[in-house]
Amino acid sequence: MNGFFMPSGHPAAAFGSPLAITWITLLAWTTLAALLLMAMATDLRSRRIPNHLVGAGVVSAVLQQLLLPTGPHPAMGPAFGTPGLWAGAMAAALMLLVASLLWRVGLWGAGDAKWLTVMAAHAGPAQVMPLLMFTLMAGGLLAVAWKLARRPNPMPYALAISGGEVALVMAARAGPASG
């Protein structure tokens, strides 16, 4: 349960007991999972990530950064409120720059670049490069599987972005490597 409790001055502390905060965190996790699943489903079906889904992801990231001390992303530090918003905005700006460059060279579509930017806003600035690396690794595995299955192009990259996001969360939950 570490990370589920709010400092006494936190705006979400008005919700009452620490148990209520656990429900807020659960809601944030569920929202993020639902967004990832919807992005994968629509990308598989139509090879597009619709703007209304990107908009819902932005709203989710803003609320996460405002209300949760660690957000649903365990990798994000204990910034919330205005510092959390700034951290999410910095992460989104950095990822938008990188993802837009990769879109321009044809690695993925514009919807994929926007969706990866939304995931970065959830994760925070320190996790932009790990998120990108995990996503590119998942994309490489997906490309091999896609070719072996002789599937038509283009490949639905929301699957790789979701895989990168899940890998980032799992790596953050595991903690730093000891060695």
Q: What integer is the mean pLDDT of 101-130?
A: 90
Q: Where are the domains of the chain?
A: 11-172
pLDDT confidence of 21, banded at 50, 70, 90?
A: low
Q: What integer is the mean pLDDT of 120-146?
A: 91
Q: What integer is the mean pLDDT of 19-39?
A: 80
pLDDT for position 78: 47
With vertex at residue 111, the alpha carbon angle to CA 107 and CA 116, rounded to the nearest 5 degrees, is: 75
For residue 50, pLDDT over 80 is answered with yes
For residue 40, pLDDT over 90 is answered with yes
Phi, psi for 31 (deg, rounded to 5): -60, -45
Q: Which of 169, 88, 86 is nearest to 122 (CA)?
A: 88
DSSP for 54-119? HHHHHHHHHHHHHH-SS-S-TTS-S--SHHHHHHHHHHHHHHHHHHHHHHHTTSS-HHHHHHHHHH
C-alpha 97, offset from chain centre: 16
pLDDT confidence of 83, banded at 50, 70, 90?
A: low
pLDDT confidence of 41, banded at 50, 70, 90?
A: very high
- pLDDT tens digits, one per residue of 144-157: 999 999 887 788 99
pLDDT for position 72: 44
For residue 66, pLDDT over 70 is answered with yes
